[in-house]
Structure 1
Amino acid sequence: MRSSHTGCRATAQSLIEALPRLLPQDEARCADAVQAALLTSGLLDSADLGNSPAVAAATRDGLTCLAHLLDKDAPGHGAGRLLLLLLAERAGFTPHPSPDTAQLRVRDAATALLCLAQWHFSDDPLRLLGGALEVHAEEARDSSTGRS
C-alpha cells in the first residue's frame, strides 16, 4: 500500500484536506463524502466504490496513515495518541497534553472514517480500528529495526 512512513503521512494529510470541515448530518451523504476523500487521497480506487471489503481496507489504511502522521511528533506513539484523541472526544475530556489544531484534524478524520465504517460495514468499527492500530505497530516496529 505505502512505500514509506513519509508517503503514508502525505496520504493522511491528503485525506484530511479532502474531507469537508463539516460533514453532512445525513449518514448516506456523510459516507459519500468520506468515500470521496478516500478516493482523492488515493486510498480507494474508483473501481472499488461499493465493494465493502475494499472500502474496509481503505478505511483501515486511512486510520493507519493517521496514526503514522501522529508519529511525526512522538515516534512510535501515534497509535496511542490517536486512540486517546478518539476516546477523549467520545467521553468529553481533554487529553494531556492538549491536542493542537493538527491533532484535532487527525481526530476528526479518524472519527469520519469510523462513521463510514459504522454505516457501511456490518462488522464492529472498533475491530477495524484495532486492525489499523495493529498494522501501525507492526510497521513502526519494522521501521525501528530497519526492515521494510
Structure 2
Amino acid sequence: MRTPADSRAAARRLIEALPRPLPRDEARRADVVQAALLASGLLNSSDLGDSPAVATATLHGLACLTHLMDEAALGHGAGQLLLLLAERDSFPLPHPAPDAAQIRVRDAATALLHLAQWHCHDPLRLLGAVLQVHSVEARDASTRQA
C-alpha cells in the first residue's frame, strides 16, 4: 500500500506527463493517458492495453490525485476532487474558482475518467472505489503516524 506522500509524488509525475492540451482524437488521448500512467509508475509497460490493469492503474491514479488535494485541505481531498469534476455552475452554493494547480488536477482526473470508459464497465463505480481507497490509505497513514 502506498503512503499519501508516495501517492502525491505519483500524482505530480502523472500531471507532468500529461500533454497540454490533450489530443482531441479519442484513441490518441487514451494512448497519451496510458503513457502518463506509465511515466508516473502507476502502470507497468507489460500492462499497456490490458483493461483490468489499466482500470486498476486509473483507480490508483485518481486516488493519488485525491491525496494531492489533501495536501492543501487535509482530509478533504476526495471531496475537493469531486467538486473540481462537477460542473461549477450546477452547484447551488458558491464555490471559488479553481486555481491553476487545481485545474491541472481536474484535467488529469478527467483524462483518467475518460480512459476508464475504455477499460471498465462502470466508471462511476470506479470513482466510488477511488473514494474508498483514498479513505483507507489516509486512515492507515494516520494510524502509522499515531
Report percent identity of matched pairs.
66
Matched residues in 2 for 1:126 and 1:63: separation? 12
RMSD: 2.2
Residues 14 and 40 in structure 1, CA contact (< 8 A), matched pair in contact too: yes
Structure 2 residue runs without a partner (length 5+): none
* Mapping for residues 8-27 of structure 1, pairs under 5 Å: 8-27=7-26
- C-alpha spacing 1:61/1:90, structure 2 compared with 1 (3 Å): farther
**Deviations for 1:114-142, whole angstroms, at most 9, x for unmatched residues?**
00011x22411111111111100111122
Residues 5 and 68 in structure 1, CA contact (< 8 A), matched pair in contact too: yes
* Mapping for residues 99-118 of structure 1, pairs under 5 Å: 99-118=98-117
Matched residues in 1 for 2:56 and 2:71: separation? 23
Structure 1 residue runs without a partner (length 5+): none
- Give 1:85's aligned residue: 84
* TM-score between both structures, scaled by the size of structure 2: 0.91
| Partner secondary structure for residue 86 of structure 2 | helix
- C-alpha spacing 1:42/1:17, structure 2 compared with 1 (3 Å): same
Matched residues in 1 for 2:132 and 2:44: separation? 23
- C-alpha spacing 1:145/1:116, structure 2 compared with 1 (3 Å): same
Matched residues in 1 for 2:87 and 2:79: separation? 12
- C-alpha spacing 1:122/1:135, structure 2 compared with 1 (3 Å): closer
| Partner secondary structure for residue 19 of structure 2 | coil
- C-alpha spacing 1:122/1:71, structure 2 compared with 1 (3 Å): closer
Matched residues in 2 for 1:66 and 1:38: separation? 12
**Deviations for 1:54-85, whole angstroms, at most 9, x for unmatched residues?**
10000000000000000001111100000111
| Partner secondary structure for residue 144 of structure 2 | coil
- C-alpha spacing 1:93/1:56, structure 2 compared with 1 (3 Å): farther
Residues 19 and 109 in structure 1, CA contact (< 8 A), matched pair in contact too: yes
- Give 2:132's aligned residue: 134
- C-alpha spacing 1:55/1:93, structure 2 compared with 1 (3 Å): farther
Matched residues in 1 for 2:35 and 2:93: separation? 30
Q: Which has the higher contact order (CA 8 A, sep 6+)?
A: 2
- Give 1:146's aligned residue: 144
